[in-house]
């Protein structure tokens, strides 16, 4: 095959490799956050661990965009590739935002129930990682999407319960400000996992 044509041919698998690595980062960042919440002895170290993953994903994101701009034929719509990568990056940014706030708000004790919400988020990110891992072969990909939707509904219900409880039990307005935001950021991260699932579902149906 002549060199030029070869260059223009898709190296489709490498897009999928980057997506897998990003899905893995999504999952690892949620794992680092949950560990930080479960053993809150050194939140600074926990937040730094999440931040490292966030930086690493920024590099992946930047390389993917460069690659996307320089590739002639892509394995699926350019817009969908961009959106899928952006949404995964957003999940990590939100997990990093939650971890960062636990530090700058000088939280000294994790409120009951917040760890449960981070656990649901971890499960949703595990499904995100699993879904992007089978993006090329598509085996059972829609089942992962359905499961992400179910977990998002669970996170939504849990978030409402936690916020209602916060306003019922907490008398210090400053504590309400801090925890309301941390809880909402965690719920928003799960929302973003659902956005990832929606892009994956759309990509899968288009080429069905």
Chain residues in the site for its own copies (CB under 8 A): 65-66, 69-70, 79, 100, 104-106, 160, 163-164, 167-168, 173-174, 176-178, 180, 198, 201-202, 205-206, 208
Which residue's CB is nearer to its own copies, number 38 or number 153?
153
**Cβ–Cβ under 8 Å, residues 80 and 202:** yes
Which residue's CB is nearer to its own copies, number 97 or number 129?
97
Phi, psi of 74 (to 5 degrees): -115, 155
Which residue's CB is nearer to its own copies, number 132 or number 203?
203
Strands (E), 19-100: none
| Helices and strands per DSSP (H, E), number in the chain | 7, 0
| C-alpha pair distances (Å), 176 with each of 44, 109, 171 | 22, 14, 8
Residue showing tokens 């449960």: 116
Which residue's CB is nearer to its own copies, number 77 or number 116?
77
Give the nearest distance from C-beta 110 to its own copies in angstroms: 17
Hey, is 39 helix, strand or coil? Answer: coil
Give the nearest distance from C-beta 130 to its own copies in angstroms: 22
Give the nearest distance from C-beta 207 to its own copies in angstroms: 9
Give the nearest distance from C-beta 5 to its own copies in angstroms: 20
CA–CA distance, 144 with 207 (Å, rounded to integer)? 18
**Cβ–Cβ under 8 Å, residues 93 and 26:** no
The pair of structure tokens assigned to 169 is 């039990």
Give the nearest distance from C-beta 101 to its own copies in angstroms: 8
Which residue's CB is nearer to its own copies, number 27 or number 178?
178
């Amino acid at each position: 095959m002549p060199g030029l044509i070869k260059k223009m041919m898709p190296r489709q698998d490498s897009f999928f490799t980057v997506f897998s690595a990003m899905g893995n980062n999504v999952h690892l960042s949620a794992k680092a956050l949950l560990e930080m919440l479960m053993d809150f002895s050194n939140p600074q170290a926990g937040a730094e661990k999440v931040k490292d993953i966030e930086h690493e994903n920024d590099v992946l994101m930047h390389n993917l965009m460069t690659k996307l701009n320089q590739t002639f034929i892509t394995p699926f719509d350019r817009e969908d590739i961009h959106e899928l990568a952006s949404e995964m990056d957003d999940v990590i940014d939100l997990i990093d935002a939650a971890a960062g706030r636990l530090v700058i708000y000088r939280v000294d004790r994790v409120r009951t129930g917040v760890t449960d919400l981070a656990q649901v988020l971890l499960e949703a990110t595990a499904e995100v990682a699993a879904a992007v891992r089978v993006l090329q072969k598509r085996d059972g990909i829609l089942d992962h999407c359905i499961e992400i939707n179910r977990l998002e509904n669970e996170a939504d219900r849990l978030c409402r319960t936690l916020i209602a409880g916060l306003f019922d039990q907490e008398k210090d307005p400053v504590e309400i400000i801090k925890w309301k935001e941390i809880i909402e950021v965690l719920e928003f991260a799960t929302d973003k996992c659902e956005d990832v699932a929606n892009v994956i579902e759309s990509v899968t149906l288009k080429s069905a």
